[in-house]
Every structure is written in C-alpha cells, then in structure tokens.
Amino acid sequence: MSAITQAPPAAPLRSFAFLVAPLGQLSGDGQLRELIEERRQRKGADVELWYLGEDLVEELRLAQAFRHPPAKDQDGGCPQGPIEAIVAGDAAVVTWLELRFGGCAGSLALPTGWLQERAAALPPRAPAAATATISARAGRT
C-alpha cells in the first residue's frame, strides 16, 4: 500500500515505510515506546522512527492501508475504530516491527521535516495495571 501526501511545492519529498494497526496493537504493551526511547538514547534525536497517533494517521489517511491490504494479509475484515502507525526511514525496521506486532505495512512520501515537527512524541505509556500485573508475575518466578 502506498500513500502520497500533499506537500508544499518547495518541500522535498522522501519515501518512508510505515506500519498501521488498530490502536493499542503497536503501543499497548509499552515495548514500542521502550524501543524508540532506547534508539534515541543510543543514536540521538535523528533516529528515523516515529509514532503516529490516531490524529496523525487520520491526517495522512493511512487507515486506508487496512481497507486495501495486500492479498496475503486479507482476512475479510477492516478494523473498526482508531488506527495507530509507526514510520521508519528503513523498510527493514518496519518489516521487523510487522513480524513482532502484526499490522499492515506500506510506504508513503512526506516532506523531509514533517515527521520531526509533527511526530516526535513517544507512544503512550503502557497502562499501569498491565505493567503492575507483569511485574507481579515476574516476581513469582
């Protein structure tokens, strides 16, 4: 699935890989947030890995990637409700994330600075109840 966004005429476009999934599938357990934080700590703020919440997914119209998934991934349904996404400069990163989290991958073209300006925020933290349960289980082993 490819999506081309409209950009101001002077803004150069660059191709990025993306992964979309129902809200919570990528960010729900906190692992995606940890991954982005770790990469930013090691490589600095220029890491090409951005989280798009449902508002940015809607703005870029990335939810249509679920409406027209690749034939191998068709399961006959389109998720109902909000969608989240991850965008990367390296398609191999998105392939790995797709294997880890599921979802539907594609590519899109954006102005080079758009992601730094609009999508620099980290995914939400995992819900406290879920992390407390995981911590309690880890203490029992």
**Phi, psi dihedral angles at 56 (to 5 degrees):** -75, -35
pLDDT, greater one: 131 or 90: 90
pLDDT, greater one: 4 or 139: 139
- Rounded distance between C-alpha atoms, residue 56 and residue 40, angstroms: 21
Is residue 12 scored above 50 in pLDDT? yes
pLDDT, tens digit (0-9, with 9 covering 90-100), for 74-103: 444 445 679 999 999 999 999 999 999 999
Confidence of residue 105 (pLDDT cuts 50, 70, 90): very high
Q: Can you give the pLDDT at residue 38?
A: 94
Average pLDDT over residues 127-133: 58
Sign of the CA dihedral with 27 first, then 100, 61, and 56 last? positive
Chain centre distance of CA 38: 16
Closest CA to 87 of 62, 69, 64: 62
Closest CA to 120 of 29, 52, 18, 28: 52
Q: Can you give the pLDDT at residue 76?
A: 41
Q: Can you give the pLDDT at residue 109?
A: 94
Q: What does 69-132 look like in DSSP terms, one character per residue? A: --GGG--S----S-EEEEEESSHHHHHHHHHHH--EEEEEEEETTHHHHHS-SPPPPPPHHHHH
Listed by start position, the domains of the chain span 2-140
pTM reported for the whole predicted model: 0.75
Tell me whether strands 49-52 and 83-88 are parallel, antiparallel or unpaired.
Answer: antiparallel
Is residue 1 scored above 80 in pLDDT? no
pLDDT, greater one: 3 or 38: 38
- Rounded distance between C-alpha atoms, residue 80 and residue 10, angstroms: 37
Is residue 66 scored above 70 in pLDDT? no
CATH number 1.10.10.10 given to 2-140: no
Q: Can you give the pLDDT at residue 77?
A: 45
